Amino acid sequence: MMQDAHPTVVSVSRDDKHRFSKPAVADIRLISGFGIEGDAHAGATTAHRYLARKDPGRPNLTQVHLLPAELFDDLAGTGFTVAPGELGENVTTRGLDLLALPLGARLHLGADAVVQVTGMRNPCSLINGYQRGLMTTLIRTDDAGQVIRRAGIMGIVLSGGTVRPGDPIRVELPAGEQLPLGVV
């Protein structure tokens, strides 16, 4: 797993409505077992509209969406312009290969907040409504036939706290076997 010596939070975003993009804000408050205060996707049970219709009692494994700023750099090279929060993420990071993290990794954000990684984001077709053709850059199939998802990771809040741009990120790997991320 490639990681800078000092991975950081670049931006934080939230929105109290179910919209595709989330506006960047000065800080977000994470609440244990709930998610981000004031965010439409917060809650102990799923707040994703499609999933809530199918199974309203389903545990919310997508309380926090994290995305690497390096993805924006890559997308710019293919003609897309994307800024923090525009793909619906809550926390934009730099210096950490989020997709290489194992299931159950804990991300210590700032002084107090801890997010446990639950899986990869499965981007929906709304991405093409945001920018036509963007979906095919976020989900591809490699030469070996493996599906490559690049739309970030999801997690649940284990310990609450306030997170701001510039905050450090510390990774705590789970004990035992390191399991790869699936889709949540």
Alpha-carbon span 9 to 166, nearest angstrom = 5
37 burial via Cβ count (<10 Å: 0-12, 13-18, 19+):
middle
pLDDT tens for each residue of 9-63: 999 999 999 998 999 999 999 999 999 999 999 999 988 777 778 888 889 999 9
Residue range(s) defining the domain that contains residue 43:
3-167
Separation between Cα atoms, residue 102 and residue 135, nearest integer Å: 24
Residue 103 belongs to a domain with what CATH number?
Answer: 2.40.33.20
Q: Where are the beta strands (DSSP E) in the chain?
A: 3-13, 24-25, 28-31, 35-36, 64-68, 91-96, 106-109, 113-120, 139-141, 147-149, 153-159, 161-163, 169-172
Per-residue pLDDT, 173: 98
- Letter for the amino acid at 59? P
Residue 3, pLDDT score: 59
Kindly report the pTM of this predicted structure. 0.93
Contact 10, 86 (CB under 8 A): no
Amino acid 55: pLDDT: 85
pLDDT at 4: 60
Number of domains in the chain: 1
Does 177 map to a domain?
no
Q: Residue 90: is its pLDDT beyond 90? A: yes
**How high is the pLDDT of residue 122?**
84
Question: Over 90: is that where the pLDDT of 78 sits?
Answer: yes
> Is 8 part of a structural domain of the chain?
yes
Within-domain flag for 178? no
**60 occurs within a structural domain:** yes
| Position 87 in a domain | yes
The answer to whether residues 106 and 156 touch, using CB atoms and an 8 Å cutoff, is: no
User: Is 184 inside a domain boundary?
Assistant: no
Q: According to the model, what pLDDT value does residue 115 have?
A: 98
pLDDT tens figures, 104-149: 999 999 999 999 999 999 887 778 788 998 998 899 888 999 999 9
Taking the C-alpha atoms of residue 140 and residue 82, their distance in angstroms, rounded to an integer, is 18
**Is position 33 within any domain?**
yes
Q: Cα–Cα distances in Å, from 55 out to 28, 43, 52, 134?
A: 28, 14, 5, 29
